[in-house]
Structure 1
Amino acid sequence: MTSISATPTPQKSSLQIVLGMLWRDKFATAAVIFLLIAILCAILGPALFGDIATKQNLRGRNAPPFELERGFMMILGADALGRPLLARIIVAAQNTLTIAAGAVALSATFGAALGLVAGYGPRWLGNAIMRLADVIMSFPSLLLAVIVLYMLSPSVGNVILVLAITRIPIYLRTTRAEVLEVKERMFVQAAQVMGASSSRIVFRHILPMVIPTLVTIATLDFAFVMLAESALSFLGIGIQPPEITWGLMVAQGKQYLSSAWWLAFWPGLAIILTTLSLNLLSNWLRIALDPAQRWRLEISHKGGK
């Protein structure tokens, strides 16, 4: 009697599964690669290219792009003071992404916390929190930021704080709506019957169900906050020189649009590509974090095998 030994199928790790799902969406893969490059520029850019980005060369004022005889750093041209645009875009990535990440992190943290209280706490407290959100949302976010920054100094910290305050209601209202729906499910009611504390129910059972929605919203909101910061810098009440952001570079190049279009074009292109990448990544996250739609990414391609 011959015994047949079956070879066990190797189990894939969670990282391999996620990377596999990401690879099957080529647009999301390209978006992640671009965002990783932008993050590397934000981390390493000031240390590697900080001196080059601030060194003036009046002989190269408004130098046009693609003149390689001036050196690789001048491939995108130079600004009105002869500073290479490529180096300045790389260095400016730090402030631009730091402001967007800080504002999204603060607004998501406080908004989610208030939303959990409003959805699971006493009714009167939830109503009070929602009225506070209504007050914040009654002001246009950009107008509120303009008013506050006009009274405060336009530093990186103040810009992060102002933009975070204007975005809190988004996470608050979303979290509250999710909590009101999740707390009526059978597993939450079972935990209540078994005597679980409110904090355990909220953080162990409800919050994990809300996080995927918040992650998707935060990815989209990151792009919005970055555009809002660029708008504030364009209006002249955002980050001020010698600090630099992509929005400030666009603002500084607007007066040269007829004679040196590249001064505003390249930083504007960086904003567009980053925003587009975030939107593509958000669309992938919406599918990957939804168990009802995740199968679209988990199925293996059989063609060509």
Structure 2
Amino acid sequence: MSEETIVDEAPSAYPTPDVKPDRTGARAGTTSWLRRARARGVPAQLLQPSLVLAVLVLVVVVLWALFPGTFAPHDPYARELTDKLAAPSPDHPFGTDNLGRDYLSRFIYGSRTTLVAALLALAIGFTVSVLIGLPAGYLGGVIDEIVGRLIDIFLAVPGLLISLMLVTSIGFGTVNIAVAVGAGSIATFTRVLRAEVLRVRRSDFVTSAVHCGVRWPTVLRRHILPHAIGPMIALAALEFGTALLSISALSFLGFGAPPPTPEWGSLVSDGRAYLAYAWWLTTLPGLAIVLVVVSANRVGTFVERIR
């Protein structure tokens, strides 16, 4: 018998284990895009599934607000009395209201009104807090004491209650509820900015600018604000979801745009009268609002962590 035959027939001292079939094919397929993205240098923080899903939801809502006619399957104002209070179907995913109007189309068109109101509220709270918090934190003294006590007073009251009192005073409408919600967020923005100004003003470059004779408005604009604005941006990202929820709540209470203009909160409110036999008129828009608010908070949390 040849040497080769003896070697082939000899039992192996280290038997090869049975090769089991790969049962992770589905998982590998679903995560292949993550591996490719990581190989291209994309940070792992940006590849979290919850963050990706939240960004996709917000992108869809922004596209709805920019191009509602492209995504709405029907005219939001067209009435079909023969098809009123229809249950959700492929033709009407959110069903129809008591006048036969497609509820999904009205929700898509209402996204523009609600998002614009939320952005306006953030702009008001951000701008006013900069005008108040910068000089208060830098100058100190009596001005800082007054601003600090006012912030404590307004923070002791829920922001939605402040917005409700203001919108009751100034009147109804989308712009008015945006102003009211923005005014209710001023104290939160001012507290954060004032704390950052107190920290930055002790820096060496600020002290050098003051000793060089630079006037305090210029110091605030060129040296302090750029270094104190980061936490404000992160807070604005977090407050966006709160603003959406507050505006929807005020619209639900009837302080928003007059009918037939669609708004997210008013759509939920309109379905209350038919909740017993047309639950989708309230449930589906409400779930959509919750999904958008949770997505905005998820993105805001991510922005706050990476700042």
Whether TM-score is above 0.5 comes out as yes
Q: Distance in 1 between matches of 2:197 and 2:48?
A: 31
Match of 1:38 among 52, 61, 70: 61
Query: What is the CA-CA distance between 1:55 and the residue it aligns to?
Result: 0.7
Structure 1 segments unaligned to the other structure (5+ residues): 1-16, 69-73, 290-305
Q: What do residues 155-204 of structure 1 show as CA deviations (whole Å, max 9, x unaligned)?
A: 11111111111111111111101111121223322333344332333222
Is the contact between residue 246 and residue 270 of structure 1 (CA under 8 Å) also seen in structure 2? no
Is the contact between residue 22 and residue 29 of structure 1 (CA under 8 Å) also seen in structure 2? no
Is the contact between residue 74 and residue 105 of structure 2 (CA under 8 Å) also seen in structure 1? no
Match of 2:99 among 81, 99, 112: 81
Match of 2:81 among 49, 58, 61: 58
Residue aligning to 2:289: 271
Is the contact between residue 126 and residue 186 of structure 2 (CA under 8 Å) also seen in structure 1? yes
After superposition, the CA RMSD in angstroms is: 2.4
1:267 partner amino acid: P
Q: Distance in 2 between matches of 1:110 and 1:50?
A: 40
Match of 2:75, SS? helix
Residue aligning to 2:172: 154
Is the contact between residue 235 and residue 304 of structure 2 (CA under 8 Å) also seen in structure 1? no
Q: What do residues 136-173 of structure 1 show as CA deviations (whole Å, max 9, x unaligned)?
A: 44544333333333343311111111111111111111
Q: Percent identity?
A: 31
Runs of 4 or more, structure 1, over 6 Å off, are: none
2:120 partner amino acid: G
Q: Distance in 1 between matches of 2:139 and 2:42?
A: 39
Match of 1:236, SS? coil
Q: Which has the larger radius of gyration?
A: 2
Distance 1:46 1:126, change over 3 A: farther
Match of 2:243, SS? helix
Q: Distance in 1 between matches of 2:47 and 2:210?
A: 41
Q: What do residues 1-35 of structure 1 show as CA deviations (whole Å, max 9, x unaligned)?
A: xxxxxxxxxxxxxxxx9975664333223222221
Q: Distance in 2 between matches of 1:147 and 1:286?
A: 30
TM-score normalized by structure 1? Answer: 0.80
Q: Distance in 2 between matches of 1:231 and 1:20?
A: 37
Structure 2 segments unaligned to the other structure (5+ residues): 1-39
TM-score normalized by structure 2? Answer: 0.79
Residue aligning to 1:6: none
Number of equivalent positions? 268
Distance 1:135 1:76, change over 3 A: same
Is the contact between residue 82 and residue 100 of structure 2 (CA under 8 Å) also seen in structure 1? yes
